[in-house]
Structure 1
Amino acid sequence: MTDFFTAPGGFYRGNLHTHSTLSDGALEPKEVCRRYRDEGYDFISLTDHFLGRYGWPIADTEPYRKPGFTTVLGAELHSGAQANGELWHILAVGLPAGFEPPATQEFFATADQETGPELAARAVAAGAHVSIAHPQWSGLTLDDARSLEAAHAVETYNHGCAMGADRPDGFHTLDLLLAEGRRLNLVATDDAHFTEPDHFGGWVMVKAAENDPDALVESLKAGTYYSSQGPELRNIVVTDDEIVVESSSVVSMIVQAQGNTAKAVHGLSMTRSSIELHKFAASPWVRVTVIDAAGKRAWSNPIWLD
C-alpha cells in the first residue's frame, strides 16, 4: 500500500497547477519556470486556461528544462456547465500538445459544448493525469463530482483559492467519493497566477524512477506521491494492528477514515508516531495528515486496507 517509500527512484517536488501570460497569469512562461526552478522545485506543469479567447494554449515549456528541472505539458480544461451553471474546471497534466480543443471560447458554459465529464474522459484517453479542480471554490456538488468518472484525483488544497477566496478545500468531496468506493487520490497545488501571494504554497512529492515527464505522469497515475505545504512524509507502514508514520518534525499526526472516524496523536518534535488500527475496522480506507509547529500540513493519498 505504501511501497513507493522504499521503491527505487527519488522524490521530486512539483507544482501541478500554474498560469502564465498565455492565459490570465502575470508572468511569461519562461519566468514562471525560472521562479519555480530557483525556489527548489524539480518540475512544474504550466496549466493555462484552455479557452478559445487565449488560443487554447498548451505551453511549450521544453526550452525551459534544465539539468535537475523539468516541465510537464498540461492545461486547465473547460467545457460544459456544473449544476450551478458555471463552467467546469478540470486539471490535466501530461496532456499532448495536439489535444483537440473543446468549443469553449470564454469563461462561461454554452449549450453547444461537450460536458465536463466527456472532456475529462478525452484527456485521460490522451494520456493525461486528471484532477477535479478546486471543488470548494467551484461550488461543486456531490453529483457533479460523481459524474467526473475519469478523474484520477481531487484537488484537495489549492493555495490560490486559499489566498484569494478562503476556499481552498476539496477534502469533503474526496471523502464522500471514497465512501462510495471511488479509488481517487488527492493533490495539493498552487494555482499560481502571480497576481497575489498564490505561489509556493502547496505541492506534490512524486516518487519516480527519474525526473522525466513521462515517469512523473505515470507515478501520478499510480498514486506514488504525497502532497505537502512543508512537512515531509518519510514512511507509512500499515500492519494488522497499527499504522506507523515517519516524517519530518511535526506536532500532530492524524489518521482519517470513512464517516467521522479519526484519531490524532499530538506531541513535540515527533518524527515517528503510531495509531492502533482497531478504531478503523469498519472503514475500507484511511489517510494520514501530519502538521508541523508552523501549522503546515502534509497529506498521504488514501490507503485502501484490502
Structure 2
Amino acid sequence: MIAPAFAAPGRFWRGNLHAHSTLSDGALPPGEVCRRYAAEGYDFLALTDHFIGRFGYPIADTKPFRSNTFTTLLGAEIHSGAMTNGELWHILAVGLPADFAPGDAPGFVPVPGQETGPGIAARARAAGAFVAIAHPQWSGLTLEDARSLEAAHAVEVYNHGCFAGADRADGFHMLDLLLSEGRDLSAVATDDSHFTEPDHFGGWVMVKAEENSPEALLAALKRGEHYSTQGPELRGIDVGSASIRVECSAAVSVIVQGAGSAARAVHGESMTRAEIPLGRLETSPWLRVTVVDRAGKRAWSNPMRRAA
C-alpha cells in the first residue's frame, strides 16, 4: 500500500496553515505576513486570525496578496465554549467562507450560554473548512475534549509558536490515542506565527496537488494527501505485509510508530532509503512514520490505517 500523499497525482506544495496578523494579536499587517512567507519560499499560506468579538470576528481577505507563484486560503482560529479545564476552545479552520457567521465569543474567556467548541467546529466543517484540533498540549486538552470534536479532520501535531513560547508543541500523544480508538485523522505541523517571538518558519505542511490553487489544496488536505515537516523531505512510503519502505532526504533515523508502545527504528548515516520490519507493528491498525535528519529536524507522515 502506497501512502496516499505519494500515490496522488501532482506535486508537493509548501504551506503554513496557522498564522496571525494585526487583525488580531499578530505584530504584522496581513500583506506583510503574506510577503514574508512568499519570500521564504512558501507556496501558500492560511492567515488564521482569532475569530472573536474583541477583534471584530476577522476572516482576513488575503486574495489581493496572491500571485502566480503564491496563493492563500481563507481561514481563522475559531473560538467558543469552555474545555474541561475551563479555558476557551481554540480550533483551526482553513477554507472558511468569508461570510462565516460568528458565534457569541467576545474575548478569550468563555461566557455562559455560548456555542460549544464542537458546535462551532461542526459549523465550520459544514461550511467547507478543513478543521484541526489546535495545539492540544498548549491548551491542556483532555482526551474527553478531543473525542468531542467529531468534526476534526486533523490534529495539530507540531506548533512552532507553542514550542518557542511555551515548550508545549506536541500533539502526537493525542493523535495516537484517537487513532487507536478508530478515528480517521491526519496530522499537520504549523507555525502559529505572530512575529512577536521566533515563532515563524519552523513547521509546515507539504500538500500534494495538481495545482497551487486554494480549491486543489483544500481538497488534498481533506483527503490526507500531505505530510508535515520541519525541513526533511518524505519522498515515498510503501507499506507491505511484513515491512514498510521509506524514501526520504538524508536522515539518521527512520521510525515507524503504531498503537500502544509499538515502534521500530533504523539508524544510520545519510540514509535516503530504509526498510523497517514491522514485527509487532503487524497487528497495529494504523502506522505513521517519522524521519529525523542530522540536525534533529523531523518530518512526519500522516497516519495510514491498515485493512482489518
Pairwise same-fold verdict (TM > 0.5): yes
Give 2:157's aligned amino acid.
T
Measured in 2, the distance between the counterparts of 1:122 and 1:207 equals 26
Tell me the distance in 2 between the aligned counterparts of 1:181 and 1:68.
Answer: 39
Note if contact 2:5-2:227 (Cα within 8 Å) is conserved in structure 1.
Answer: no
Equivalent residues in 2 for 1:73-92, closer than 5 Å: 73-92=74-93
Alignment of 1:90-101 (within 5 A): 90-101=91-102
Q: What's 1:66 paired with?
A: 67
* Map of 2:295 onto structure 1: 294
What code does the residue aligned with 1:279 have? R
Partner of 2:195: 194
Comparing 35-44 with 234-243, which one deviates more in the overlay?
Answer: 234-243
Q: Aligned residue for 1:239?
A: 240
The alpha-carbon deviation at position 259 of structure 1 amounts to: 0.2
Aligned to 1:23: 24
What CA distance in whole angstroms lies between the structure 1 residues aligned with 2:103 and 2:195?
Answer: 27
2:306 is matched with 305
User: 8 Å contact 2:264–2:278 — kept in the other structure?
Assistant: no
Q: Equivalent residue for 2:149?
A: 148
Q: What secondary structure is seen at the aligned counterpart in 1 of 2:109?
A: coil
Give 1:111 deviation, angstroms.
1.1
Q: Which runs of 4+ in 1 moved over 2 A?
A: none
Report what 1:252 is aligned to: 253
Partner of 2:270: 269
Q: Where does 1:120-139 land on structure 2 (aligned, <5 Å)?
A: 120-139=121-140
Output the amino acid matched with 1:31: E
Task: Report the CA distance between 1:4 and its aligned residue.
Answer: 3.1
CA offset at residue 240 of structure 1? 1.4
TM-superposed deviation, 1:161: 0.1
Tell me the CA shift for residue 6 of structure 1.
3.9
When normalised by structure 1's length, the TM-score is 0.99
Aligned mates of 2:44, 2:107 — CA distance in 1: 29
Alignment partner of 1:168: what SS? Answer: coil
Amino acid at match of 1:191: D
SS of alignment partner, residue 283 of structure 2: coil
Letter of the 2:142 partner, please give it: T
The 10-residue stretch of structure 1 (62-71 or 3-12) with the greater mean CA deviation from structure 2: 3-12
Query: One-letter code of the match for 2:151?
Result: A
In the alignment, what sits opposite 1:165? 166
User: What residue in structure 1 maps to residue 109 of structure 2?
Assistant: 108
- Matches of 2:195 and 2:241, distance apart in 1: 46
**Matched residue type, 1:20:** S
Deviation at 1:3, TM superposition (A): 3.8
Q: SS at the partner of 1:45? A: strand
Aligned-partner SS, 1:281: helix
Contact 2:4–2:224 under 8 Å retained in 1 = no
Displacement after TM superposition at 1:279 (Å): 2.1
Q: Is the 8 A contact 2:156 2:189 kept in 1?
A: yes
Asked if 1:227 is matched to 2:197, the reply is no
Return 5+ residue gaps in structure 2 as ranges.
none
Q: CA deviation at 1:57?
A: 0.3
The letter for the 1-side match of 2:144 is D
1:201 is aligned with what amino acid?
Answer: G
Q: What is the aligned length?
A: 306
What fraction of aligned residue pairs are identical, expressed as a percent?
Answer: 69
1:211 match: 212
AA paired with 2:232?
Answer: P
Distance (whole Å) between structure 1 residues aligned to residue 242 and residue 88 of structure 2: 46
User: Counterparts of 1:214 and 1:99 in 2: how far apart (Å)?
Assistant: 17
With 77-86 and 238-247 compared, the bigger mean Cα shift is at 238-247
Report the 3-state secondary structure (helix = DSSP H, G, I; strand = E; otherwise coil) of the residue aligned with 2:255.
Answer: strand
Whole-angstrom CA distance in 1 between matches of 2:226 and 2:232: 14
Question: What's the counterpart of residue 51 of structure 1?
Answer: 52
Distance, in Å, in 1 between the alignment partners of 2:192 and 2:291 is 23
- Could you state the TM-score of these two structures normalised by the residue count of structure 2? 0.98
Distance 1:121 1:242 in 2: 38
**What is the RMSD of the two structures over their aligned residues, measured on CA atoms?**
0.7
1:78, CA displacement in angstroms?
Answer: 0.2
2:47 is paired with a residue whose SS is coil
Do 2:245 and 2:275's aligned partners in 1 also have CA atoms closer than 8 Å? Answer: yes
